[in-house]
Amino acid sequence: MHTSVSFSQFSDLARAADPIFTRHIQPVDDVLEINRTKNDLLILIEYLLSRMDRFQTGDRVSVQVRRASGLNFGYTPYGVKEALDPFFTENGLIPVVQQADSVVSIYLAFNRAYIGISKPYENLSDWPGGMIRLQKAENQTSRSRFKLEEACLVFDIRLSEYSSALDLGAAPGGWSSYLLDQGLHVTAVDTGELEPALLNHPNLIFCKTNVSDTMFGPDAFEVLTCDMSWDPMHTAKLVSKHLYSLKKRGIAVITIKLMHKKIRKTIDDFVRVLEPDLTCVSIKQLFHNRDEVTAFFRKT
Ligand X SMILES: C[S@@+](CC[C@H](N)C(=O)[O-])C[C@H]1O[C@@H](n2cnc3c(N)ncnc32)[C@H](O)[C@@H]1O
Interface contacts to ligand X, rule CB under 6 A: 142, 144-145, 169-175, 189-192, 210-212, 227-230
Question: Quick one: 63 or 189, whose CB is closer to ligand X?
Answer: 189
Half-sphere exposure of 31 (CA within 13 A, CB side): 6
In the bound state with ligand X, the residue whose beta carbon lies nearer, of 80 and 226, is: 226
E strand map for 135-233: 164-168, 185-189, 204-207, 221-226
- Please identify, using beta-carbon distances, which residue of 11 and 294 lies nearer to ligand X: 294
Which residues fall within 8 angstroms of residue 171, CB to CB, at 6 or more apart? Answer: 188, 190, 191, 192, 193, 194
The least CB distance from residue 155 to ligand X, in Å, is: 16
Find the residue with minimal CB distance to ligand X: 174
- Please say which residue, 113 or 184, places its beta carbon nearer to ligand X: 184
Shortest distance, position 294 Cβ to ligand X, whole Å: 11
* CB of residue 55 to ligand X, shortest distance in Å: 42
Count of C-beta atoms within a 10 Å radius of residue 172:
18
**Residue 117 main-chain phi, psi, to 5 deg:** -120, 135
Q: How far is the CB of 86 from ligand X (least distance, A)?
A: 42
Considering the complex, state which of residue 38 and residue 260 has its C-beta at the smaller distance from ligand X: 260
Comparing CA positions, the residue from 138, 99, 114 lying closest to residue 40 is: 114
Classify strands 60-67 and 94-95 as parallel, antiparallel or unpaired.
parallel
Classify 295 as helix, strand or coil.
strand
Nearer to ligand X, 83 or 137 (CB): 137
Least distance CB 171 / ligand X (angstroms)? 4
Give yes or no for a cis peptide into 202 (omega within 30° of 0): no
Q: Least distance to ligand X from the beta carbon of 176, Å? A: 7
